[in-house]
Amino acid sequence: MLIRVSLFALPFIAVQASSILLPTASRARPSSPAKAGLTAGSLVLTCFLLAVLTVTGRFGNGRYDMFTDSAVAAVAAANRIAPPSSAIISAAHPTPWRSEAYLEHKYRTFDELCGPELSTMTCGPRLYGCARHNPAGAVVLLMRSSEASLVLRGVTSAQGIQELEKWLGAQDGVELAFSNADARVYRVAP
């Protein structure tokens, strides 16, 4: 969303930035080549700095913006394992949900169920309760990319997610139904 805002503002920022090269009433156009070169050099340096910051500012988002084949396979397994009308609960929104059976399930995230409090003692019972109270049960999908999203946003730590997963796995009616390098899928009976 912020990228769209910055792209919308880009033409106005460009006009504002180029206005330093235009003469004003109090300041005439630089007459000497040295001043003109200094002004052009500072503009080039500023543009280069902004280009570098744009690229490095997005560094790290690939951990939760891009999905591996095994993550997509885990979502396909979750859709296959989940009975119709069951809930599929993911850690966070960056999840490749697209499938032909998208409308057969209710999709929830830890953020929606637990709010800002993702500790094991508060979020665990809410998550488990939501899964158990759904008449068709639920599937809990824990993906590397979703976990990275929660950690990068500062919602929880990697250790907090591991504790929550350990707590959930110890509950009645919860079984590990699928696991690969990037994801785990737990089936929660109603």
* DSSP structure class, residue 153: T
End-to-end CA distance of the chain: 37
pLDDT given for residue 28 in this prediction = 60
pLDDT under 50 in the chain at which residues?
A: none
- The letter for the amino acid at 141 is L
- Read off the pTM: 0.68
pLDDT at 99: 65
pLDDT tens digits along 1-11: 566 777 777 88
Residue 170 tokens, joined:
């110890």
Provide the token pair at 52. Answer: 């570098």
CA R_g for the chain: 25
Q: Which of 117, 115, 98, 116 has the alpha carbon at shortest distance from 107?
A: 98
